[in-house]
Amino acid sequence: MTSSAASRAIPLSTHTVVMLVIAAVAGLFAFLWPFFFNPDAVLVGDRSGATTAPLVCGLVLFLVTGLLLVQVTGGDLDVKALAMLGVLTAAGAVIRPLGAGAAGLETVFFLLILAGRAFGPGFGFALGSLALLASAFITAGFGPWLPYQMIAAGFVGLGAGLLPARRPNERGEIVLLGVYGAAVSFVFGFLMDLAFWPFLYGSGNQAGFDPTLPWWENLHTFAVVTAVTSLGWNIGRAVTTVVLIALLGPGLLRIFRRAARRARWSEK
Amino acid sequence: MITFDDVTIGYEGRAVLGPISLTIPEGDLCLVVGRTGTGKSTFLGAINGLVPWFTGAEMSGRVSVGGLDTRSHRPPDLATVVGYVAQNPLAGFVTDRVEDEIAYGMEQLGVAPTAMRTRVEEALDLMGIAPLRRRALAELSGGQQQRVAIAAVLAAQPRVLVLDEPTSALDPTAAHDVLASIVSLVHEAGLTVVIAEHRLERVMDVADTVVWLHRSNTDPGSIAEIGDPPTILTHADITPPLAALAHRLGWEKTPRSVRSARRQVARERIIISVDEDGRAPSSSPPSDSQSTDPVARMTGVTVAYGALTALDHIDLALAAGTVTALMGRNGSGKSSLLWALQGALASTGDIIVDRDDPRSVSAARARSLVALVPQTPADLLYLPTVGEECDQADRESDVPAGTTAALLQQLGLDLDPAQAPADLSEGQRLGLVLAIQLSSRPAVVALDEPTRGLDYTMKDHLRGLLRGLAVQGIAVVVATHDVEFVAATADRVVVLAEGEIVADGDTRSICAGSVTLSPQVAKVMWPKRVLTIDELVVAHRDESTREPGDSPAEPAVAR
Amino acid sequence: MSRLLTRPVDFARAAPAEEAPLDSGARPLSLIALALRRPVPPLVWWAWALSGAVVASLTTNVVLLTLIAAVMVATMLARRGTGPWARAVKAYLILAAVIVIIRVGLQMVLGSLRSGRVLFTLPEVHLPAWVQGIRLGGPVTLDGVALAFADAWRLAVMIICLGAANVLANPRGTLRAMPAVLHRVSTALAIAMAVAPQFIESAARIRRARRLRGGAGTGWRSVRGVLLPVVEDAVDRSISLAAGMEARGYGAHSSAGVTTPGTRVWATVSASTTRSGAQSGRSMTPVGRREEPITGNRGGDRSERMVPLVLVAGLLATIIGAFGLLGLPAARSLMWAVPLLVVGLAACFAALVVAGHQTHVTRYRPERIGPRDVVILVSALAVVGLAVALSRLIGGVMDPAVTPVTWPPFNVGFLVVAGLLAVPLLVTRAPDEGGVR
């Protein structure tokens, strides 16, 4: 085995890194839009703006994700990386609906994390966003939520590729990935809920978003709402991810790394 | 058309090929033969530059095709000169529809949409698959998929077609169709075709040249010898049935086809004395070892998938110590029968193996009744190393540690326990799975298409293994398309069609009298009911000792 | 069609294939009937459905919203195909219903609008201050419920419009309609769509095979026994897939643009080709003599070198502009956020077009926008225009007052909106099995 934990199936150029950073910031803005929202803004057609803001943010994110995908998969993309991307995207799209029926089962994060770890951040990002896009293709799930999911999943995979490369032993590596998986499960749930909280709850009630209140009041309301309604889901997502990483992590990492060796990505 | 100039290819310092220097003339159908592991795929890959560009091999020397050097032209640049078709067509499909798949390569090459339309039509017609144009690739039969794969590379209008074992996964009829299409490409369209093929009996007669890859004592990698098929095959270590026949009869050249072999036999007036029921007197009747008490019995077994009836009231008894072959075209119910016998497939009717019904006992017990080696043996392997697989098998079978590893040794496989099963060759993987399955000491061993991807030597080895199991009193049942293997291995042949048993009898009575199910030797010697070369040689010697004056050199005499 | 099948192998003299009728019907069809039977390009469906969503976002009038929903559902049911995506109608209707139920339910339990006629009263609970001093229950009023319903119904109708696009647009067509610059993304997706069913099949096969080894381990452990071989199989498959793609010309960009029929233009290696060429060369360790691949100066094309820079700049401008629209008061955002947004979008678009031209990839049987599709697009545009005009002219009708609650007012313009949205019902035919691509 090579000393580095992650090979670089998709090398990242400086331009790509700059765009990823911009996208990360833009994405964070888009997820946290209720806090930056101005009730007097142009796009606010009605009293709350709650219905248009996520759509505008969604469109921006869609553009951002699209451009990122163009940039990440452009340039020096190896045909083997593209084929691997396609095949693992299929895997993600196939296993994702398995968890959709049951509460809090999140069956795709472990794959993104393990692949991001084995094949590097660029691949992790592309796989994360493409897996959710392909899943939308299969389940007819295009909507304003899709760009949010795509960019979030993309960064889940990317982050896994950026984890410290040194690994003392297999067990240590799995623990590291498991902790990361649990953390992103919570963050992902929190951000998705926040972005669609005004959308789903409206603003005419006390659990909803009120654009006239200062942001900390809204955050307080949201914290209460999310603790009551979504904590169980988030715990479920984290537990599934950790269990799947513990169970399948060693085997999948072995398979992925063998493939990376065969495709000679580790040398790059 | 294709020139290898002092080519050496190796991986990680280990030489695979070379040095090789040869030229394949334009318009030839060139057959690449060689035992497993002699680098046939590497040789083929070198023609369109996949080796070394894609696989990352170390290469010296020069390969040029159509005047283009593969060192300066990458595989995509060569796509309009060389069409390359890999072994498993389904694994190489990028899209999921026939038309889109054929257009894919041209889209990459930037062919103008109008030209693309015409070329797609041409490719569809060339391979005779126009009616399939809108079908999903996954629902096509293996032969149709292979023809789509060929059409997909033809659309780029290459002058050379390279095929890596295009028929290894096909049943004889589909293989025949695909090969007929390929031959017509050579004859009608004037393409140069280079083809690697394990079962030479299918293509020998149409090949113009043969490239034989083999290890030599002096060179590190495999070296190549090129020539016309009769000359090469007579001394190659690859012995298709007709070559074996030629060896035994002392012919200088291997006959190209059954027809020419029959003519030669007629010329030489080889007359074989056979007894009344078509059996050579000296051959040992296999039925002797047959015991009358069946170890497994299926009565009125029916398997249905929805509206489709895969097995229709099958009655079959398997005797201990015999090898039974299941034959029949794809979809005739061979696999369903094996899976139903194992109890892993829901069925109605009675199945009794060793006084138990494998459907109602635990999976672990069912495994000790019937051990099944499925069509893709790798499905059973999931652990990182051979050693761990063996240990796991010991636990699953509840036998002392080391049993499976010992079985592996007995099968003649000396595998490194630390090796990854994924890195094993086809034959080694089959052996590993067989050992794992045998560790449960089953009463019946069932194998589904075990000869896929095995060369002649490995098939011989497998035949020895199965006969050995039969001697130990195990009932062996093999589903296969390989008539040569059946003729040499099985005691009894059961032919299935549309889920029903249409013929059941000892191998000689079924195989020697059929057109499609008879081995080439039987076809050559027909109407004498000879099954294997061993019998023939004995018979021949009997003849020659009785009539010493009947020299092979004598001119043709009408019989 | 039958003409194509029986045509002699000599294709060169064949009539242009475009003339072939798309459908295999034996009886002759008029030109118009043929045009109507052609499948609608997915992007046209999307434009149409989004126009419905935009109109819905402009109104809280329940009558108009219900009209839009009715047209959408009718079109969905009448014009959906047979693919799996066409079965999503129910899912979207359920999602819409859930949104309405949540919103109205929250208003009843947690609502802050408690004025107007009281329908019934829920027991009241005051929560402590650390949970925002939320008051549960209390009087449920008609005004509150009506307001919540109108708002939720608008959102639900937008969801139904999205559902219509999802159900009617063939995802395969969407994939094919992707711009050239997304070529690799669409390739990866095409692979995914082709491989996904095979995954399910091989998982089923391997699961069945587990029993042959005594079915060792059930539950979580069996997941490993099934999933690892499936992934291993998939990973191996990706390697042979890559080999096949490479051998068939993936990444062979011809600087000559497109090859014309009959001539076989030798791809003179363009700058972009050499880039990947040089890369493969880097990972190849040759022994003995080997000519270096033709090395072009990397990124020699100036426009190509500019693309990433323009892309980054355009992206930044777009993002800042868009968030300016959301986060700044109207007056200031109009001054600089809108221009920034426009410039950013234009820069992104230009960069993508240039990048797309560098991908010398063509499309087999590209989707064409026919006259019928133009009719749909124009009616979609008209409906948005009409809705904007209506909300300017009769704002009180489009957005009626909620307190005190009244019956939603009606306007003849609503019927025109619904009629324009229903245009696809007139100019399309239900897809038949054979004609669907």
Is C16 in the B-facing interface, judged by CB distances under 8 Å? yes
Q: Do A200 and C352 touch (CB under 8 A)?
A: no
Helix (H, G, I), strand (E, B) or coil at B371: strand
Spatial CA neighbour of A66 closest among C301, C356, B110: C356
A251 neighbourhood in chain B, CB within 8 Å = 382, 384
**What's the CA gap between A135 and A155, in Å, rounded?**
17
**Per-residue pLDDT at A107:** 79
Q: Do C323 and A36 touch (CB under 8 A)?
A: yes
- Over its length of 437 residues, how does chain C's per-residue pLDDT go in tens digits? 333 333 333 333 333 443 444 444 445 667 777 777 788 888 899 999 999 998 988 888 899 999 999 999 999 999 888 777 788 888 889 989 988 998 888 888 877 777 778 888 888 877 776 666 667 778 888 888 888 888 889 889 988 998 999 889 888 788 887 877 888 888 898 888 888 888 888 888 888 888 888 765 556 667 777 888 888 888 888 888 999 888 988 877 633 333 323 222 222 222 333 333 333 333 333 333 333 333 333 344 566 667 778 888 888 888 888 877 777 666 666 777 788 888 988 988 888 888 777 777 788 877 788 888 999 999 999 999 999 888 888 877 887 877 777 788 888 889 999 999 999 998 888 876 444 44
Spatial CA neighbour of B316 closest among B185, B173, B493, B551: B493
Residue of A38 and C291 predicted with greater confidence: A38
Locate C98 and state its tokens. 């859930």
Q: Do A86 and C223 touch (CB under 8 A)?
A: no
C387 CB-near residues (< 8 Å, 6+ apart): C54, C55, C58, C59, C398, C417
- What CATH number should be reported for the domain whose range is B2-238? 3.40.50.300
Count of beta carbons in the 10 Å neighbourhood of residue A136: 21
**What ranges do the domains of chain B cover?**
2-238, 240-278+521-559, 286-511
Is C297 in the A-facing interface, judged by CB distances under 8 Å? no
Residue C269 pairs in a beta bridge with C254
Residue B222 pairs in a beta bridge with B17, B215
Spatial CA neighbour of A72 closest among A31, A128, A27: A128
Q: In what order do the strands lie in the sheet with B500-506?
A: B370-373, B444-448, B475-479, B323-327, B492-497, B500-506
Q: Do C319 and A207 touch (CB under 8 A)?
A: no
Highest average pLDDT, of B160-169, B486-495, B548-557, C185-194, comes from B486-495
**What's the CA gap between B401 and B396, in Å, rounded?**
11
- Per-residue pLDDT of A52-82, as tens digits, reads 676 777 888 888 888 888 888 876 678 889 9
Is C285 in the B-facing interface, judged by CB distances under 8 Å? yes
Mean pLDDT of A194-200: 77
**Per-residue pLDDT at B536:** 64
B420 neighbourhood in chain A, CB within 8 Å = 258
DSSP C335: I
- Subunits with 3+ Cβ pairs within 8 Å of B are A, C
C-alpha C78, offset from chain centre? 21
From chain A residues 53-92, the ones with a CB under 8 A of any chain B CB are: 79
* Secondary element (H or E) of residue A98: helix A79-100
Q: Is the pLDDT of residue A268 over 70?
A: no
Length of chain B: 559
- For chain B, how big is the Rg over CA atoms in Å? 25
**What's the CA gap between B232 and B209, in Å, rounded?**
9
For residue A80, the chain B residue with the least C-alpha distance is: B54
**What's the CA gap between C80 and C82, in Å, rounded?**
7
Cis amide prior to C179 (ω within 30 degrees): no
For residue C281, the chain B residue with the least C-alpha distance is: B53
**What's the CA gap between C423 and C428, in Å, rounded?**
9
Q: Do A251 and B56 touch (CB under 8 A)?
A: no
**Per-residue pLDDT at A266:** 60
**Per-residue pLDDT at B285:** 47
**Closest CA–CA distance from residue C260 to any residue of chain B (Å):** 6
Count of beta carbons in the 10 Å neighbourhood of residue C386: 16
Is A220 in the B-facing interface, judged by CB distances under 8 Å? no
DSSP B289: G
- Per-residue pLDDT of B271-310, as tens digits, reads 665 554 555 444 444 444 445 678 899 999 999 888 888 8
**What ranges do the domains of chain C cover?**
42-176+367-427, 180-211+221-247, 302-358
Spatial CA neighbour of C136 closest among C150, C121, C146: C121
**What's the CA gap between C120 and B120, in Å, rounded?**
71
Query: What is the interface size between A and C, counted as CB pairs within 8 Å?
Result: 287
Q: Do A251 and B420 touch (CB under 8 A)?
A: no
Residue B297 pairs in a beta bridge with B317, B352
């090579």: which residue's tokens? A2
Locate C29 and state its tokens. 């069809």
For residue B76, the chain A residue with the least C-alpha distance is: A79
**Closest CA–CA distance from residue A26 to any residue of chain C (Å):** 7
DSSP B204: G
**Per-residue pLDDT at C282:** 33
**Closest CA–CA distance from residue A155 to any residue of chain B (Å):** 27
From chain B residues 510-529, the ones with a CB under 8 A of any chain C CB are: none
**Per-residue pLDDT at A40:** 63
- Per-residue pLDDT of B225-260, as tens digits, reads 999 888 888 888 888 888 888 888 888 888 888 888
Query: What is the interface size between A and B, counted as CB pairs within 8 Å?
Result: 8
**Closest CA–CA distance from residue B326 to any residue of chain C (Å):** 20
Secondary structure (DSSP) of C140-189: EEHHHHHHHHHHHHHHHHHHHHHHHHHHHS-HHHHHHTS-GGGHHHHHHH
- Per-residue pLDDT of B86-125, as tens digits, reads 888 888 898 888 999 999 989 888 888 889 999 999 999 9
**Closest CA–CA distance from residue C111 to any residue of chain A (Å):** 4
Q: Give the β-pairing of B68-69 and B58-65.
A: antiparallel
C337 neighbourhood in chain A, CB within 8 Å = 42
Helix (H, G, I), strand (E, B) or coil at C279: helix
Is A254 in the B-facing interface, judged by CB distances under 8 Å? yes
Helix (H, G, I), strand (E, B) or coil at B223: strand
Q: What angle do CA C184, C190, C196 make, to 5 degrees?
A: 135
Secondary structure (DSSP) of B400-453: -TTHHHHHHHHTT----TTS-GGGS-HHHHHHHHHHHHHTT--SEEEEESTTTT
**What's the CA gap between B488 and B501, in Å, rounded?**
22
Q: How many angstroms separate the first and last alpha carbons of chain C?
A: 15
Spatial CA neighbour of A64 closest among A125, A134, A139: A125
A137 neighbourhood in chain C, CB within 8 Å = 85, 171, 174-175, 189, 193
**What's the CA gap between B276 and B283, in Å, rounded?**
14
- What CATH number should be reported for the domain whose range is A14-263? 1.10.1760.20
B385 CB-near residues (< 8 Å, 6+ apart): B417, B418, B419, B420, B421
Judge whether B216 and B269 are in contact, CB under 8 Å.
no
Spatial CA neighbour of B258 closest among B508, B519, B483: B519
Q: Is the pLDDT of residue B53 over 60?
A: yes
Lowest pLDDT segment from A38-42, A137-141, B225-229, B538-542: B538-542
Residue of B146 and A200 predicted with greater confidence: B146
Comparing CB atoms, the residue among A79, A254, A264 nearest residue B384 is A254
- Residue A45 main-chain phi, psi, to 5 deg: -80, -30
Is A268 in the B-facing interface, judged by CB distances under 8 Å? no
Q: What angle do CA C123, C129, C135 make, to 5 degrees?
A: 20
Q: What percentage of chain B has pLDDT greater than the value 70? A: 91
Q: What percentage of chain B has pLDDT greater than the value 90? A: 28
Comparing CB atoms, the residue among A254, A258, A264 nearest residue B56 is A264
Give A61: exposed, middle or buried? Use CB within 10 Å, 0-12, 13-18, 19+.
Answer: buried
- Subunits with 3+ Cβ pairs within 8 Å of A are B, C
The type of residue at A19 is M
- pTM of the full structure: 0.82
Is C187 in the A-facing interface, judged by CB distances under 8 Å? yes
C-alpha A86, offset from chain centre? 18
Residue C299 pairs in a beta bridge with none
Which fold does the domain B286-511 belong to in CATH? Rossmann fold (3.40.50)
Residue of A116 and B250 predicted with greater confidence: A116
**What's the CA gap between C104 and A201, in Å, rounded?**
9
B14 CB-near residues (< 8 Å, 6+ apart): none
Locate B338 and state its tokens. 């094996």
Judge whether B157 and B107 are in contact, CB under 8 Å.
no
**What's the CA gap between B94 and B137, in Å, rounded?**
10
**What's the CA gap between B286 and C2, in Å, rounded?**
56
* Long-range contacts formed by A165-168: CB under 8 A, 24+ apart: A165/A4, A165/A5, A165/A6, A166/A5, A167/A5
Give B36: exposed, middle or buried? Use CB within 10 Å, 0-12, 13-18, 19+.
Answer: middle
- Subunits with 3+ Cβ pairs within 8 Å of C are A, B
């293997």: which residue's tokens? B485
Spatial CA neighbour of C318 closest among C350, C356, C346, C352: C346
**Closest CA–CA distance from residue B108 to any residue of chain A (Å):** 12
């990866």: which residue's tokens? C188
